[in-house]
Amino acid sequence: MTAWQKGLVFVSVVFLIVGCGQKPSTANNNPAPLLSPKDLGPVPNFSLPTPEGTLFSSSELQGKVALIDFWATWCPPCQEEVPGFVDLYNRYQDKGLVIVGISVDEGGVEQVKEFMKEYSVNYPIVMADDEVIRAFGGIRGLPTTFLVDAQGRIVKRYVGFHSMKEFEKDISNFLLTSS
């Protein structure tokens, strides 16, 4: 293995462990502070376009347990998590789980559509705007995922790559308590 290949492997491992460091833009380039655990509260209201041009609203989460995932097509840890989210959604959607991917891609809707097709994404994807990024307290790294309980309260924030076992354990606890 060449030094260049070793370097590429190292960078890939770092991305998988800590997530993508590039942060999404905000309108005034003055990012909002991250939420602290005491600030986790109601999921912000939002209505965002899907790549197909329809609107998805946070009101569609009412009474359901949700994972809201800020991600991008160019982010290696995001690419690693998506197949697991597809599987979780297949297994738990009938039990009240909703997964919503909020894409922060600036490459356009077509890039997101291609990614969705390649990864067989079966859960709603919407296109982020600066307002939703601010409403969630600012997004400093990707992926950033929020767990929302059936009462509409954010109960956990995950920054960077996390195992599907961790997500499954957490959503299972809330799905059991919300039935």
Residue given tokens 């996390």 in the structure block: 162
pLDDT of residue 64: 96
Coil, strand or helix at 145: strand
Token pair in block for residue 9? 């492997």
pLDDT tens readout for residues 89-140: 999 999 999 999 999 999 889 999 999 999 999 999 999 999 999 999 999 9
pLDDT tens readout for residues 65-77: 999 999 999 999 9
pLDDT of residue 48: 98
List helix spans (H) across the chain: 3-18, 76-92, 109-118, 130-135, 164-178
Using a cut of 0.85, tell me whether the model's pTM lies above it: no
108-115 long-range contacts (CB < 8 A, ≥24 apart) are 109/51, 111/73, 112/51, 112/73, 113/51, 114/73, 115/73
Residue 7 pLDDT grade (very low, low, confident, very high; cuts 50, 70, 90):
very low
The domains of the chain, with CATH numbers, are: 27-178 (3.40.30.10)
pLDDT tens readout for residues 142-162: 999 999 999 999 999 999 999
